[in-house]
Amino acid sequence: MLALVARATARPCGLLKQMPLNKITGRFQLHQEALPHLPVPPLQQTLDRYLLALQPIISPEELSHTQQLVAEFRKPGGVGERLQKGLERRAKKTENWLSDWWLKTAYLEYRLPVVVHSSPGVVLPKQDFLDRQGQLRFAAKLIEGILDFKTMIDNETLPVEYMGGKPLCMNQYYQILSSCRIPGPKRDSIVNYAKGKKQSRHITVVHNFQFFELDVYNSDGSPLTADQLFIQLEKIWNTSLQTNKEPIGILTTNHRNSWAKAYNNLLKDKTNKESVRAIEKSICTVCLDAPMPRVSDDIYKSRVAAQMLHGGGSRLNSGNRWFDKTLQFIVAEDGSCGLVYEHAPSEGPPIVALLDHVVEFTKKPETGKSPTVHLPMPKKLRFNITPEIKNDIEKAKQNLNIMVEDLDIKVMVFHQFGKGFPKSEKISPDAFIQLALQLAYYRMYSRACATYESASLRMFRLGRTDTIRSTSVDSLKFVQSMDSPDKSDQEKADLLRRATQAHREYTDMAIRGNAIDRHLLGLKLQAIEDLVSMPELFMDTAYAVAMHFNLSTSQVPAKTDCVMCFGPVVPDGYGVCYNPMEEHINFAISAFNSCADTNAARMAHYLEKALLDMRILLQAAPKSKL
Ligand code: COA
């Protein structure tokens, strides 16, 4: 059955080859049903691996304490076994024992603002237009490309992706268009209008903080052409020449509890409610931004990354967004472009696959003539601002501006080599980059830290991610040896190779559903659900250290020469995202200015040096039998 639907040849995650497929209703469901269920890893295996993962990041005394707690937890007939059985029962009853829990824990119940703390951005290469005409032409073509991709989703003709020869879950693709997050007092929710009678037919366009509903289909159901879209965008532009005094979109940048309160208040007014619903229901948002302040070339990309993540503050483009919207494409008058997306429905790779498609589409010449029908004026979405709403906007502005000031972000294009070099050394490029991050961190802080790298669980039905713990006993041995005069180059190179192999082994274990992080989370949530007292294992300092990810990292590969970026997940940490291309690597590194110990540019500097030193080392010391 799977062979019928999974026709693409094996290719890595994130790379989509577009093939003309005919519409077959139910194709997606058939594919999904043939995917395996996420396993619950064996309890003893996870506990052994947990102790191993702690070794490089905690003291021997702490480790010995945790060993006792683990020994208690794993006893035959003990609490560990009871919780494990609960998880196994859950796995039998559900499509995926983890996905609902993960969605709630990682996203919908997370109360910090989505801006910086959760929503990733993508920086696209600068487009070569310099004025409004160019901006609108490009935006029109981009929208046409989005609609082209949407047709594949609607017709269920999206080619199945593969990783390591295994077909991947395609569900996230069906969640990224026509959806929106809704704030709630304790937990948010997501709405989706991709299917059925209420299927969306419009996008939201924002210009000068003013929102418009733009219908993107002709009456015969065909999508508007780029020429038609251009005309519509011009109409929008010409009716929104003045910046709106009340940037209503700023409300979406707030702490989720405050936003939930403000949302209820906002929607008491019928006009406001209709406007908000129109935004929520739309296919996506297209933000026509004012130009960014001019900066020198060396910091340009870092500034664009900040624009994508937060919009630059209440006086720049932050009011030109609705941050709860799953997908927001950003096109500024000066040619800076990219997107920001709300993370709950999807990981980066499907978003970037869509972007790759759209970017390729924008390069195509116009084909065919546009119908000459008169198109109605796009509808302006109006808001009645009461004093209370105005007050909420002011508070949100203040908080946002603090966040904007606090974000330290550096985009680094590492030009000296790309993934070709580690491959030529028979090393996994991802493992090589992760080891470089370990070395950079160790050189800066003389210690190793808990490190998170996202691993895809999409080999399983409704799979999201698990964690590759890049800090290992082997990585620590390597980074400690690197600057040691007592070790020869050959020994150091052998330690580096061994550490990259260990990283690749962890990756393989993670993508096959056998990593430890989601399993430990599952056991903890099972304890909460069973109302048993929280096992000491989860109250232990070592557990808190293991979950305090000073390095939160992710590879998001793309065909386009772009880079995804996101904020750190702890106050004293770094967020590092990278796109390894064949000849160069794009990195986006973030930190918080409020932390005196972190500095994104400094980390970029150490990372660059680590990558170069590791190349020199491997070239100087030939591969020996490990
Ligand atoms: N020798 C030579 N080549 C090697 C090699 C080796 N030892 N190991 C790997 N390679 C090659 C691979 O074949 C691949 O080749 P390609 O460029 O032709 O495709 C390339 O190097 C990349 O492999 P690698 O660097 O090992 O990474 P990967 O593609 O297997 O990706 C993860 C690893 C962890 C990033 C991936 O499994 C994953 O889970 N991705 C999803 C992450 C995610 O969801 N992020 C978003 C969070 S928002």
Residues 316, 397 contacting (CB under 8 angstroms)? no
Confidence of residue 625 (pLDDT cuts 50, 70, 90): low
Q: Which of 428, 509, 556 to mutate to test the pocket of ligand 1 (most atoms within 8 A of CB)?
A: 428
Predicted local confidence at residue 27, as pLDDT: 83
Cβ–ligand 1 distance for 381 under 6 Å, the answer no
343 labelled catalytic:
yes
Euclidean distance between CA atoms 342 and 351, whole angstroms: 11
Nearest to 363 by CA among 131, 121, 127, 14: 127
Confidence bin at 626 (pLDDT 50/70/90): low
Is the distance from the beta carbon of residue 210 to the nearest atom of ligand 1 less than 6 Å? no
> CB count, 10 Å around CB of 229?
27
User: What pLDDT shows up at residue 244?
Assistant: 75
* Cα distance between residue 173 and residue 346, in whole Å: 8
347 lines ligand 1 (CB under 6 A): yes
Is residue 470 pLDDT above 80, yes or no? yes
Angle between the N-to-C axes of helices 387-406 and 297-310, in degrees from 0 to 180, rounded to the nearest 10: 140
**Sign of the alpha-carbon torsion through 350, 354, 355, 359:** positive
Q: Is 349 in the pocket of ligand 1 (CB under 6 A)?
A: yes
Nearest to 397 by CA among 312, 515, 455: 312
Measure the CA–CA gap between 561 and 327, rounded to whole angstroms. 20
Cα gap 556→67, rounded to integer Å: 36
275 is in an annotated binding site: no
Is 179 annotated in some ligand binding site?
A: no
pLDDT of residue 23: 67
| 264 vs 30: CA distance, rounded Å | 40
**456 assigned ligand-binding residue:** yes
- Residue 588 sits at the vertex; the CA angle it makes with 479 and 573, to the nearest 5 degrees, is 60
Single-letter residue type at 149: F
pLDDT-derived band of residue 15, with 50, 70 and 90 as boundaries? very low
Any ligand 1 atom below 6 A from CB of 13: yes
User: CA–CA separation, 173 vs 594, rounded Å?
Assistant: 37
SS3 27: helix
- Among residues 536, 604, 587, 545, which one has the least CA distance to residue 570? 545
Question: In ligand 1, which atom is closest to the CA atom of 465?
Answer: 44
| Parts of the chain belonging to CATH 3.30.559.10 | 2-106+409-620
Q: How far is C-alpha 394 from the chain's CA centre?
A: 29
Query: Nearest-5° angle of CA 325, CA 553, CA 350?
Result: 40
* Nearest-5° Cα angle at 132, 333 to 288: 50
Q: Of 461, 492, 474, nearest to 32 (Cα)?
A: 461
Gap from CA of 299 to ligand 1 centroid (Å): 29
What pLDDT, on a 0 to 100 scale, did the predictor assign at position 429?
Answer: 98
Which ligand 1 atom is nearest residue 510's CA? Answer: 39
pLDDT on residue 196: 83
452 among annotated binding-site residues: yes
Mean pLDDT value across residues 57-79:
97
Q: Which atom of ligand 1 is nearest to the CA of 582?
A: 17
pLDDT average, residue stretch 566-594: 98
Q: Give the residue-averaged pLDDT of 54-72.
A: 98
Query: What is the structure's pLDDT at 131?
Result: 87
Is the Cβ–Cβ distance between 300 and 126 less than 8 Å? Answer: yes
Q: What single string gives the DSSP state of each residue in 441-459?
A: HHHHHSS---EEEEEE-TT
Ligand 1 touching residue 346 (CB < 6 A): no
Is the pLDDT assigned to residue 22 strictly greater than 90? no
Topology of the domain covering 112-407: Chloramphenicol Acetyltransferase (3.30.559)
Query: Residues 114-147: pLDDT tens digits?
Result: 999 999 999 999 999 888 999 999 999 999 999 9
- In this prediction, residue 17 carries a pLDDT of 37
HSE at residue 336, side-chain half, CA atoms within 13 A, is 25
Tell me what the mean pLDDT of segment 426-453 comes to. Answer: 98
Distance in Å, CA 559 to ligand 1 centroid? 14
Ligand 1 lined by 93 (C-beta under 6 Å):
no
DSSP 540-606: SHHHHHHH--SEEEEE---SSS-EEE---SSTT-EEEEEEE-SS-EEEEEEEETT-TT--HHHHHHH
Q: Is the pLDDT of residue 242 over 90?
A: no
pLDDT at 2 over 90: no
What one-character DSSP code corresponds to residue 294? P
Q: Which residues make up the CATH 3.30.559.70 domain(s) of the chain?
A: 112-407
Closest approach atom of ligand 1 to CA 120: 48
Q: Is the pLDDT of residue 36 over 70?
A: yes
Q: What is the pLDDT of residues 166-188, one digit of tens each?
A: 999 999 999 999 999 999 999 99
Confirm whether residue 419 is marked as ligand binding: yes
Contact 552, 527 (CB under 8 A): no
Query: What phi and psi values does residue 290 have, to the nearest 5 degrees?
Result: -70, 155
Counting ligand 1 atoms within 8 A of each CB, the residue from 176, 430, 565 with the most, and so the one to mutate, is: 430
- The confidence score (pLDDT) of residue 130 equals 81
Burial label for 574, CB within 10 Å (0-12, 13-18, 19+), is: buried
Task: Calculate how far, in angstroms, residue 430's C-alpha sits from the geometric centre of ligand 1.
Answer: 6
Query: What is this structure's pTM?
Result: 0.95
Q: In 3-state terms, what secondary structure has residue 463?
A: coil
Residue that has been written with the tokens 């003013």 in this structure: 210
- For residues 616 and 612, what is the distance between their CA atoms, to the nearest angstrom? 6
Which tokens is 4 given?
A: 């019928």
Which candidate in 310, 343, 357, 519 is catalytic? Answer: 343
Longest Cα–Cα distance in the chain: 78
pLDDT of residue 1: 24
Integer Cα distance of 415 and 413 in angstroms: 6
Question: What is the tens place of the pLDDT at every residue in 289-342?
Answer: 999 889 998 999 999 999 999 999 999 999 999 999 999 999 999 999 999 999
- Burial tier of 289 (Cβ tally within 10 Å: 0-12, 13-18, 19+): buried
Does the Cβ of 121 fall within 6 Å of ligand 1? no
The answer to whether the CB of 440 falls within 8 A of the CB of 432 is: no
Rg (CA), the chain: 25
| Helix, strand or coil, per DSSP, at residue 333 | coil
* CB-ligand 1 contact for 352 (6 Å cutoff): no
| Alpha carbon 417 to chain centroid, angstroms | 25
How far is it, in rounded angstroms, from Cα 321 to Cα 286? 9
Residue 451 C-alpha to ligand 1 middle, in angstroms? Answer: 18
Among 298, 327, 290, 332, CA closest to 138:
332
Residue 427 marked as a ligand binder? yes
Sequence-separated (6 or more) residues with CB below 8 Å from residue 406: 116, 592, 593, 594
What's the pLDDT score for residue 243?
A: 77
Question: By the 8 A CB rule, do 578 and 588 touch?
Answer: yes
Q: What is the pLDDT of residue 9?
A: 28
Mean pLDDT of 486-491: 96
**Higher model confidence: residue 506 or residue 373?**
506
Q: Atom 31, ligand 1: which residue's CA is nearest? A: 430
pLDDT confidence bin for 366, thresholds 50/70/90: confident
* Mean per-residue pLDDT over the chain, rounded: 94
**The one-letter amino acid at 194:** A
521-566 pLDDT, tens per residue?
999 999 999 978 999 999 999 999 999 999 999 999 999 999 999 9
DSSP single-letter state for residue 108: I
Q: Which one of 2.40.420.20, 3.40.50.720, 3.40.50.300, 3.30.559.10 gives the CATH number of domain 2-106+409-620?
A: 3.30.559.10
Give the whole-angstrom CA distance, residue 477 versus residue 435.
Answer: 11
